[in-house]
Amino acid sequence: MNEQIEKIIRNIEKVMIGKREIAELSIVSLLAGGHVLLEDVPGVGKTMMVRALSKSLGTSFKRIQFTPDLLPSDVIGVSIYNPKTLQFEFRPGPIVGNIVLADEINRTSPKTQAALLESMEEASITVDGDTIQLPKPFFVMATQNPIEYEGTYPLPEAQLDRFLLKIKMGYPTKEEEIEVLRRAERTVPIDDISAVLTIEQLMELKRQVKEVHVENNIKEYIVSLAQNTRHHHNVYLGVSPRASIALMRAAQSYAFMKGRDYVIPDDVQYLVKYVFSHRIILKPETRYEGITEEQVIKSVLHYVHVPVKRYVPE
């Protein structure tokens, strides 16, 4: 494990008990230049995970609490007329930050959800015809409750496609939950953690991730997995080429975290369910039979030939 990344994870573990894998995947997405969608029931620590990551990196942190009456201008910002200067002045919204928590993103209307599309794809926002670049790094971690819950709006496919990874938190074990109670008995754990990395160091890590080598046979493997989702008999709509790019970038980031400067098939196999599952649309009869996206991805992994040649740097 990369030493600097290990420091971040240990810092997060001071707050999040038994969530090392979630912390690792969040950092994978951050270093790959993507965004994360955390889905699970309320109260399992989704918001706390985002706050702990932000405090560990010393970045600016903004929170958007999505509600049914939230407007796009509440997210992006608004131009206000200044009678002294006789000009309109832009007042930035909470989207202008390094790490943005989009809390309960599926509790607002699709119109407001769409306000995030440009920022997540281009790292910029457009106001009154002017494009404004967002600060670097820019990283969105959105939380959502399961769509079966009351008062939720399913995210449109275009919005889901902007998330590099979709992760489910899960309940802690009995022992882990007891430890949570013990730590929260007299203090607030989030107040005890401080930054272990500067923004400059983080940007350097992101630069190094891009240099991780991806052999041609690994690229062919990724494309084969993507294409098989498009032809799978249980799938109505397979993943887009953006998903192939996302899987490659995530694999580069994961390999870097593990101390390698090259990607191996194991990296792809581990990450594919987190990258592809929210991008697949199953046929109605498939859902009726109780088949999930994860099961489809598992069958695709079984079907597609795994490259045996591995890149070894000189």
Asked if residue 191 and residue 84 are part of one domain, the reply reads yes
Q: How far apart are CA 189 and CA 168, in angstroms?
A: 22
Q: Are residues 175 and 228 in the same domain?
A: no
In a domain, 262, yes or no: yes
Give the pLDDT of residue 309: 64
The last residue of one of the domains, among 152, 173, 202, is 202
Place of tokens 């069958």: 299
Instruction: With cut-offs at 50, 70 and 90, classify the pLDDT of residue 23.
Output: very high
Tell whether 95 and 193 lie within a shared domain.
yes
144, 46 Cβ separation under 8 angstroms: no
Q: Which domain holds residue 224?
A: 211-303
Note whether 111 and 150 are same-domain residues: yes
pLDDT recorded at residue 148: 55
Amino acid at site 48: M
Is 215 among the domain residues? yes
25, 110: one domain:
yes
Asked if 189 and 238 sit in the same domain, the reply is no
Q: Report yes or no on 299 lying in a domain.
A: yes
Q: Is there a domain that residue 311 lies in?
A: no
Residue 314 belongs to some domain of the structure: no
Q: How many domains does the chain have?
A: 2
pLDDT, tens digit (0-9, with 9 covering 90-100), for 95-132: 999 999 998 888 888 888 888 888 998 889 988 778 88
Q: Residue 313: inside a domain, yes or no? A: no
Q: Which of 133, 167, 202 is the last residue of a domain?
A: 202
308 within some domain: no
Tell whether 62 and 192 lie within a shared domain. yes
**Are 185 and 162 in the same domain?**
yes
- Indicate which CATH number applies to the domain containing 26: 3.40.50.300
Whether 48 has a pLDDT exceeding 90, the answer reads: no
Judge if 186 and 72 occupy the same domain: yes
Q: Look-up: residue for tokens 């670049």?
A: 133
Residues 217 and 135 in one domain: no
d(CA 125, CA 274): 27
- Domain at 288, CATH number: 1.10.8.80
**Of the residues 202, 221, 251, the one at which a domain ends:** 202
pLDDT of residue 270: 97
User: Residue 36, Cα to own-chain centre: how many angstroms?
Assistant: 1
Q: pLDDT-derived band of residue 89, with 50, 70 and 90 as boundaries?
A: confident
Answer yes or no: do 186 and 148 share one domain: yes
The per-residue pLDDT for range 136-153, each reduced to its tens digit, is 999 999 988 776 555 677
DSSP string over 231-268: H-TTEEE---HHHHHHHHHHHHHHHHHTT-SB--HHHH
Structure tokens at 314: 């000189």
The mean-pLDDT minimum among 33-37, 44-48, 147-151, 250-254 falls in 147-151
CB 65 within 8 A of CB 192: no
**Residue range 197-202: average pLDDT?**
92
- 221 plus 147 within the same structural domain: no
Q: Which of 35-49, 125-139, 228-242 has the lowest mean pLDDT?
A: 35-49
Sequence letter at residue 219: K
For residue range 263-275, list pLDDT tens digits in order: 999 999 999 999 9
Which tens digit of pLDDT belongs to each residue from 54-86? 889 988 889 999 888 898 889 999 888 888 888
Euclidean distance between the first and the last CA atom of the chain, given in angstroms as a whole number: 21
